């Protein structure tokens, strides 16, 4: 077990400045680099993803390793993917002595994550835990969900507004296309909020940690998932229009849409945000 007195103080602003100056590192806004400096956040995230001696954790964007270390203190194996090639030398220093923690330099949107998981974690149950770069939050989450990466949960920090959308209840005004997609693959919950002052440099918005617990089965059956998501995207693409008008953007005729809405018992004047996932599935089955 590591000695806490010798552990690098990764939430100490003075220590971080000294570390980064020594490595000639400057923050990149483009890469969404806001590092956590609130000491209570990373332990809570590491606990929330269920990391333990038998499990593995995939982290996206370790930065200088503040969350990575907390994951490393709990999980049997940790793999962290970092895009910025200036950070692995920093991480080699901050993660020294944690032999079960590895850093992979690359873009999480381009790496073959299925192969990476199989190779790095074998049969271990795996969780994803990360403070996500904000410029690419939804694409990363959708990529993990749609590729059906075999993970138990995705426990991530995102902007507060993104959290509200990702965890909204379908059929309410907060819901968007991404809400329905998340609901299809996972059970979503907001765990806690984190103020902007918890980061260095401080962003302009507050954040929240959410947990998406992956479902073993989708909550409703649908004949063709592609049609389902095409319709959902079209509906929310023009969310103020009635379904009869907005769904035409998915490439269907008004006659097809009218028939499908009728079969599903949904008024043609309804709007996308009013529908639940089973209702979307009923429309998709009526059209497919
Ligand atoms: N985990 C650290 C923390 O909490 O302090 C850093 C989080 S910072 C919000 C996001 C991190 O993601 C940065 O280190 C950034 O370089 C990295 N990053 C950005 N785009 C990425 C991508 N496509 N793939 C992997 N890492 C990425």
pLDDT in tens, 11-58: 999 999 999 999 999 999 999 999 999 999 999 999 999 999 999 999
84 in contact with ligand 1, CB cutoff 6 A: yes
Residues, the chain: 288
Q: Could you tell me if the CB of 250 is within 6 A of ligand 1?
A: no
Query: Which atom of ligand 1 is nearest to 63's Cα?
Result: 14
CB atoms within 10 A of CB 112: 11
* Nearest atom of ligand 1 to the alpha carbon of 59: 1
CA–centroid distance, residue 139 to ligand 1 (Å): 14
Predicted local confidence at residue 6, as pLDDT: 64
Residue 171, phi-psi category: left (phi > 0), alpha (psi -120 to 50), beta (remainder): left
pLDDT band at 5 (very low <50, low <70, confident <90, very high): low
Strand 77-82, strand 56-60: pairing:
parallel
Pocket test for ligand 1, best of 61, 128, 206 (most atoms within 8 A of CB): 61
Pocket test residue of 9, 83, 86 for ligand 1, highest count of atoms within 8 A of CB? 83
Domain positions in the chain: 13-214, 225-287
pLDDT in tens, 116-151: 999 999 999 999 999 999 999 999 999 999 999 999
**What single DSSP character describes residue 222?**
-
pLDDT 10s digits, 249-258: 899 999 999 9
Dihedral (CA of 132, 136, 138, 139) sign: negative
Instruction: Report the CATH fold assignment for 225-287.
Output: Helicase, Ruva Protein; domain 3 (1.10.8)
Q: Compute, in angstroms, the gap from residue 79 CA to the centroid of ligand 1.
A: 13
**How much distance in Å is there from the Cα of 30 to the middle of ligand 1?**
10
- Please give the Cα distance from 206 to 161 (Å, whole number): 8
Query: Do 225-287 and 13-214 fall under one CATH topology?
Result: no
Instruction: Give distance in angstroms: CA of 234 to centre of ligand 1.
Output: 31
- Is the CB–ligand 1 distance for residue 83 below 6 Å? yes
Considering only CA atoms, which residue is closest to atom 21 of ligand 1?
83
282 against 6, higher pLDDT: 282
Give 1's pLDDT tier (boundaries 50, 70, 90): very low
- Report which protein residue has its CA nearest ligand 1's atom 20: 31
Mean pLDDT value across the chain: 95
For residues 37 and 11, the answer to whether their CB atoms sit within 8 Å is: yes
CATH architecture for segment(s) 13-214: 3-Layer(aba) Sandwich (3.40)
The model's pTM: 0.94
Distance, in Å, from the CA atom of 18 to the CA atom of 179, rounded to the nearest integer, reads: 41
Q: Is 31 in the pocket of ligand 1 (CB under 6 A)?
A: yes
């Amino acid at each position: 077990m590591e000695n806490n007195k010798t552990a690098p103080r990764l939430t100490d602003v003075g220590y971080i400045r000294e570390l980064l100056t020594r490595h000639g590192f400057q923050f990149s806004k483009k890469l969404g680099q806001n590092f956590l400096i609130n000491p209570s956040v990373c332990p809570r995230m590491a606990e929330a993803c269920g990391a333990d001696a038998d499990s593995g954790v995939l982290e996206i964007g370790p930065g200088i390793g503040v969350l990575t270390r907390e994951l490393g203190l709990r999980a049997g194996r940790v793999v962290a993917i970092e895009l910025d090639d200036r950070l692995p030398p920093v991480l080699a220093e901050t993660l020294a002595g944690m032999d079960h923690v590895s850093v992979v330099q690359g873009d999480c949107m381009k790496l073959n994550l299925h192969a990476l998981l199989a190779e790095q974690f074998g049969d271990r149950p795996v969780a994803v835990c990360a403070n996500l770069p904000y410029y690419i939050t939804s694409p990363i989450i959708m990529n993990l969900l749609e590729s059906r990466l075999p993970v138990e949960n995705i426990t991530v920090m995102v902007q507060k507004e993104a959290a509200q959308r990702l965890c909204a209840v379908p059929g309410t005004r907060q819901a968007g296309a991404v809400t329905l997609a998340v609901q299809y693959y996972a059970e979503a919950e907001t765990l806690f909020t984190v103020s902007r002052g918890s980061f260095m440099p401080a962003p302009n918005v507050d954040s929240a940690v959410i947990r998406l617990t992956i479902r073993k089965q989708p909550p409703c059956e649908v004949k063709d998932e592609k049609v389902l998501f095409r319709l959902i995207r079209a509906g929310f693409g023009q969310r103020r229009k009635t379904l009869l008008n907005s769904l035409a953007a998915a490439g269907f005729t008004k006659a097809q849409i009218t028939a499908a809405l009728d079969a599903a018992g949904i008024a043609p004047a309804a709007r996308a945000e009013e529908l639940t996932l089973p209702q979307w599935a009923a429309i998709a089955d009526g059209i497919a």
